[in-house]
Amino acid sequence: MASRTVSCRSRPPGHCRWAAWAAALVLGLSAAHAAPPMVPAGKTVQLTEQVYMIPDQGVPLVPNVGIIVGSAGVLVVDTGMGPANAEIVLNEVRQITDKPILYLVSTHFHPEHNFGAQSFPLSTVLIYSTAQHRDVLTKGEAYRTWFIDMFGADVQALLEPVKLVTPDVTFERRAVVNLGDLPVELLHFGYAAHTGGDTVIYLPEQKILFAGGLTPNQGFPIVPDGDSSVRGWIATLDDLAALDAATVVPGHGQLTDAQVMQRVKTYLTSVQGQARDLKAAGVALADAQDRLYTVFTQRYPDWREPDWIRNAVELSYAEADAAN
């Protein structure tokens, strides 16, 4: 893909910060030879006897997809972007089992995680946290438009057929579904973090956590707009750590363990504290962003997408006024 001009006109209304995400993703897509962001077929890996993951293979705009198989049926975590990707997910499920897909859950409303629900059988129960449902209703169409505008023909072909689907069930903070012999916890912790409605899927018996955008592995946390929250993210990580997970499936990136929660918290807490100090000292936001970009790229030289440091600083500046 030729380099694409990223401007503040190409964003959801009111959020110039999005340009940084677009820049990072466009660079990523360019590096991937601008192939359409497709969930890989035939690459599904088995984590335990009943739990599988379709890995993103490092492709931008492709999520890690979860497939959980109980004695009564299946729960799928995240859809891929658009019905073409969801069809690949459905086919991967069929390679594993012919049991019914009882439930579909997404970790958050971003298009690659959520915008394929229409392809699932009518009998599949779609479950959202109420906060995620609110994100879909208030921002879903804007994201479709913005993604098409920003990422071009490949993404347009994936997103134009999307119909945003009304959930069958919503919950506030916690729901438990039982796949026959396998309880699955669905949790929203009541804070905005990566998005307003981040939802995690936890298997308490296997200690496996599908954490979506909350636990970037070797990448800087993505705080895409004013609906994200550094403070809320830190609080959410404390709740996630209390789950006692052993294996963490991030929304993107390689499989990891519970240490990822502490790594992300250490980073966010440090950004928050240093931004607060700089603001209190009267340092202009742009200067603080430059200083802390240097600090954190030196501290985490191997992490992907360092442009997100600037957004975390900006959000921390905004949140500092209400500091506790």
Residue numbers at the binding site for Zn ion (CB under 5 A): 110, 213
- Residue nearest to Zn ion according to CB distances in the complex: 110
Nearest distance from C-beta of residue 41 to Zn ion, angstroms: 23
Nearer Cβ to Zn ion (167/213) = 213
Nearest distance from C-beta of residue 189 to Zn ion, angstroms: 16
Nearest distance from C-beta of residue 214 to Zn ion, angstroms: 9
Nearest distance from C-beta of residue 46 to Zn ion, angstroms: 25
Nearest distance from C-beta of residue 198 to Zn ion, angstroms: 9
Q: 85 near 245, Cβ under 8 Å?
A: no
Nearer Cβ to Zn ion (119/228) = 228
Nearest distance from C-beta of residue 253 to Zn ion, angstroms: 12
Nearer Cβ to Zn ion (158/179) = 158
How far is residue 82's CA from residue 127's CA, in Å, rounded to a whole number?
A: 18
Buried b (16+ CB within 10 A) or exposed e, 36-67: bbbbbeeebeebeebbbbbbbeebbbbbbbbb
Nearest distance from C-beta of residue 98 to Zn ion, angstroms: 32
- 267: phi then psi, degrees, rounded to nearest 5: -65, -50
